Amino acid sequence: MLRFNFNDMKKIQSYIFITFVLSGILLSGCKKFLEIPLPTDRFATEGAYLNDNSTGAVLTGIFSTAAGSAIYSGPASGYETIGFRTGLYADDLTQIQASTVGNAAAATAQFYLDGLNSSNTVQWVTLYRQIYNCNLTIENIESHKSNLSRYNQWMGEALFMRAFSYFDVVNLYGDVPLALSSDYATTNFLPRTPRAQVYAQMVADLLRAESLLGETYLDGLSATTPNRTRPNKYAAAALLARVYLYTENYAQAEIEATKVIANSVLYQLPTLANAFLSNSRETIWAIAPVTGAVVRDYNLYASAPAVNATQVALANINPATMSASLLNSFETGDQRLSTWTVLKTTTTAPVNGQFYYPAKYKSVVNGTEFLMQLRLAEQYLIRSEARLKQNNVASAVQDLNIIRQRARPATPGNVLPDYQATLSPEACMDAILKERRTELFSESGHRFYDLKRTGRIDAVMTLAASVKGTNWASWKQIWPIPLNDIQLNPNLTQAPNYQ
């Protein structure tokens, strides 16, 4: 596991507590829902959980640190978000210039050419630090339970965030160490744990979080807030539906997704143009950008001028464009293509000089948009697949058509027609994966994860690799662990075929 060079365990815990709580203060200055008073007596682990306000501050630190991390929404100079890197690694994004171009070009090329090595560490390190913070918080909330009138909220939030972190870890790295303690004497020497066991822990955490959290969105002072940037019980249900789908527990996936879909007071499908605005009715849970920043995806994809002198000039700003295969997956008239993408042009070669980028986020004003992590459309897609796998094709198609209806032009004609309830199971599954791609592109690693969990990755990536000019091998679907962790932990093995 991650090893920190501190001699005293108490100093370790105090140091990390100070780090992520202070980062919460610095990262959340302009967000009222993140402005939480901190304990004034001492910055130490034991003193951080003496009352609800200070405990709320600890959780604020966890959410704020996530908001400022490279893998979600910051920093502005990095190209390390999970959505961006998995899109490059799979077949949704294309690097448009040689690796000598752009600030992050070297790492960008490694992901695009599926040529990772043990120096690609950001996702692993960030996620396990996040898990450590959750473990430390869970332990201390439990041990100070008698002090906390809002115990349910704080514990529910911490359990949710641990499960959310493990979801990406297990989908990127396969069998991974299951750390459930802040005790480094234990976690430093954990071996890989089978994925099934890691998923089982996610289920346990989310079931408990769902039972503890309320329906209302609350801030760090337990006051009602319009901001959906801390989880409620429906966020736990939505993530649980996703986990159940991935573990092929289709009956439970349908039940959890239906809980969210059925709450039409909280959750609705707005127009495509409004779907990604902060606190849209589609939002189940989102991450708020740090003070003064915009959603990272805007800088990754949409920040270049509409017209650029050369392809090199464009690549210096936005190095990865939508792939031809992704563009071709949209049907004629699909408004997701016209509303959620942007065309950038160049005045010189290549021919036409046209490059399409994801543009789900469009604003340069902090607070206008939040980074969506769980949204209603995904719950319809989860339920559709869960129903299909239970031999209910008609109901599966019904859910797909709800998604397609929003993407249809105002005067639809024969454009983007409904799927027919008479689809074969095979055709229905193809339709589900097609709709997942055109609905969820550039978000949270969905495409890469879908290819892996459905067993389609080798066929798809063999074709994609020929376009990229590289070679695909099945073992590449598991990413490598940082070399430093392998060297420090004799029980931790590297993924096959990596050095």
- pLDDT tens digits, one per residue of 400-453: 999 999 999 988 787 999 999 999 999 999 999 999 999 999 999 999 999 999
Q: CB-side exposure of 187: number of CA atoms within 13 Å?
A: 18
Amino acid (1-letter code) at residue 351:
V
Query: In 10 A of CB 203, how many CB atoms?
Result: 16
Q: DSSP secondary structure string, 338-387?
A: HHSEEEEEESSSSGGGEEEEE-S----STTSB-EEEEEHHHHHHHHHHHH
40 — pLDDT class (breaks 50, 70, 90): very low
Query: 497 phi and psi, to 5 degrees?
Result: 75, 5
CB 373 within 8 A of CB 414: no
Rg of the Cα atoms in the chain = 22
Give 239-276 pLDDT, tens digit per residue.
Answer: 999 999 999 999 999 999 999 999 999 999 999 999 99
Angle between helices 122-143 and 52-67 (to 10 degrees): 170
47-56, 64-73, 164-173 — which one is most confidently predicted on average? 164-173
CA–CA distance, 318 with 365 (Å, rounded to integer): 19
pLDDT average, residue stretch 140-161: 96
CB 152 within 8 A of CB 213: yes
CA–CA distance, 40 with 375 (Å, rounded to integer): 38
CB 165 within 8 A of CB 134: yes
CB 464 within 8 A of CB 90: yes
Q: Per-domain residue ranges for the chain?
A: 9-226+233-290+376-462+477-488
Q: Is the pLDDT of residue 367 over 60?
A: yes
Q: CB under 8 Å to 118, separation ≥6 — which residues?
A: 480, 481, 482, 483, 486, 494, 498, 499
423-to-383, 393, 396, 430 alpha-carbon distances in Å? 17, 7, 10, 10
24 — pLDDT class (breaks 50, 70, 90): very low
Q: 420: phi > 0 → left, psi -120 to 50 → alpha, else beta; which? A: beta
Amino acid (1-letter code) at residue 341:
T
Q: Is the pLDDT of residue 29 over 60?
A: no
How much is the pLDDT for 33?
25
211-to-153, 156, 205, 356 alpha-carbon distances in Å? 10, 8, 10, 43
How much is the pLDDT for 43?
33
CB 320 within 8 A of CB 112: yes
Classified as helix, coil or strand, 255 is helix
Q: What six digits make up the tokens of 27?
A: 């990262």
Q: CA 88: distance to chain centroid?
A: 15
**First CA to last CA distance, the chain:** 18
Q: CB under 8 Å to 331, separation ≥6 — which residues?
A: 415, 416
Entry field: residues in the chain: 499
pTM (predicted TM-score): 0.91
Helix or strand (DSSP H, E) at 209: helix 195-212
Query: 462 phi and psi, to 5 degrees?
Result: -60, -45
The CATH number assigned to the domain with range 9-226+233-290+376-462+477-488 reads: 1.25.40.390
CA–CA distance, 69 with 88 (Å, rounded to integer): 19
CB 214 within 8 A of CB 254: no
Q: CB under 8 Å to 262, separation ≥6 — which residues?
A: none
Q: Is the pLDDT of residue 358 over 60?
A: yes
CB 263 within 8 A of CB 216: no
In the chain, helix, strand, coil percent, each to 5?
A: 50, 5, 40
CA–CA distance, 270 with 266 (Å, rounded to integer): 12
Classified as helix, coil or strand, 93 is strand
CA–CA distance, 290 with 66 (Å, rounded to integer): 10
How much is the pLDDT for 279?
86
194 — pLDDT class (breaks 50, 70, 90): very high
18 — pLDDT class (breaks 50, 70, 90): very low
pLDDT average, residue stretch 351-360: 88
